[in-house]
Chain A
Amino acid sequence: MTALAGPQVTTFTAFRATLRRDLLIALTRRNDLLNPLMFFLIVVSLFPLGVSSDPQELTRIAAGTVWVSALLASMLSLDNLYRADYEDGSLEQLLLSPQPLYFMVLAKNIAHWLVSGLPVVLLAPLLAYMLYLPADAYWTLMLTLLLGTPVLSLFGSIGVALTVGLGSRGLILAVIVLPLTVPVLIIGAKAVADASLGVSLGMHYALLGALLALSLSLAPLASAAALKISVN
């Protein structure tokens, strides 16, 4: 170690600083925080208008509706993840930090989930009530969203990282990312639907947990590689 390279920070410090910074930015830009949530609310309320207001019918589609809307809302919020950093050059600084990129990307993804995924989880029971979801499925809905929305953020992050350098990225992002999110949607929505039927849900949670573990360990690596490609 040369004298000109001073004391190094630990990876944990860098991780915490990145998390803190992204949360700070998100809290300063309240609109970015609120818009996906409003979008979630609006999309869910479109279903009774478009399908039927019959409680029985709504009960049947409630699980899927809430899950699909959560998926779309998380897609909408993804653009904030790396775009500003790409445009102002912070992303280059992140890539040139001597810290393992995996943890830096993970910090950004966690921050993104805390401001876009967690509010969706918390708002979900209200929407579920509006859709006449049976009461015994509420906890399942929240729990599956709690396990599933981080996976959406992690997968979405790969897509955003791949497209961050492109001029028009709105639609291509959805085209890339949505097919990847199919397993989460399937398992999450089925778990909620099965909950009202009284089926044992151990398998559902195990599968969602496995998906979360897999994406936690692999997706940030893919995002990091994608970011390197995009700034090239």
Chain B
Amino acid sequence: MSDSHIHNPDASGAVPLLRAHALFCERDDRVLFSGLDFDVQAGDLMQVQGSNGSGKTTLLRILCGLNGSYEGELYWRGVPIEEDREGFLASLLYLGHRVGVNKILTARENLRWSCALHSPVTDNDIETALARVGLAGYADVICRNMSAGQQQRVSLARLLLNPATLWVLDEPFTTLDVHGVRTLESLLAEHVLAGGAVLVTTHHPLAVPCTLRRLNLDTRGANNS
């Protein structure tokens, strides 16, 4: 399996991995957020909070570059994101509401494609990753025959297969059972301890053995807990 546990040379750095400055976004004549500033450092696990409709998903999509209707500045390692989009995308892994799993294909075929867009993997890697997320022996099952939670797990296997510095996860816990939740929590902790960074939205109280930062879109402002 591709190793994502190598130490990050930038961990000392004063330059944050991701920096958002004066973000402003409105949708349907309603201001979702304005003047939003925050930094994401290597080793940060940041939970984006807010009531329904406060713009959590919109914020994550803006950060990834899927949503372009915003004003403000975004920097990746101190460089404006639009100047080195490919470099940013190479270090980004995004899992959205829609899990990105084609129902006609098997888990293996799905992962083979999504990994081929980022980094080379072997069949062995895929099986190991699926086993880690609790889908041992499911590699060749067609995704239509899986439950929603299992499909979600297929997409979670990408966290192990595509080495990326920044994980942006939108409600990754919704369909998971207790075991799945625990697995994902440990994946998140491992990633930030290895020097990665995670931005995650969830209503689920995170139990992780590392510092958790919160970005609350209702009260606005990042603080440590």
Contact = CB atoms under 8 A, between A and B. Distances in A.
Q: Do A's and B's CB atoms come within 8 Å in the complex?
A: yes
B68 to A, nearest CB: 6
Q: Pick the most buried of A24, A29, A88: most chain B CB atoms within 10 A of its CB.
A: A88
A99 B101 CA distance: 19
A194 interface: no
A7 B122 CA distance: 13
B69 A5 contact: no
Interface in A1-43: 2-9, 13-14, 16-18, 20-21, 24-25, 28-29
A8 B118 contact: yes
Contact of A14 (B6, B65, B116): B116
Interface residues of B, number: 47
Contacts of B87: 98
A92 B96 contact: yes
Nearest to B10: A2
Contacts of A25: 102, 104-105
A92 B109 CA distance: 17
A88 B89 contact: no
A14 to B, nearest CB: 5
A46 interface: no
Given A17-B116, A21-B113, A96-B94, A4 B196 contact: yes
B2 interface: yes
B54 interface: no
Interface of A: 2-9, 13-14, 16-18, 20-21, 24-25, 28-29, 84-85, 87-90, 92-99, 104, 228, 231-232
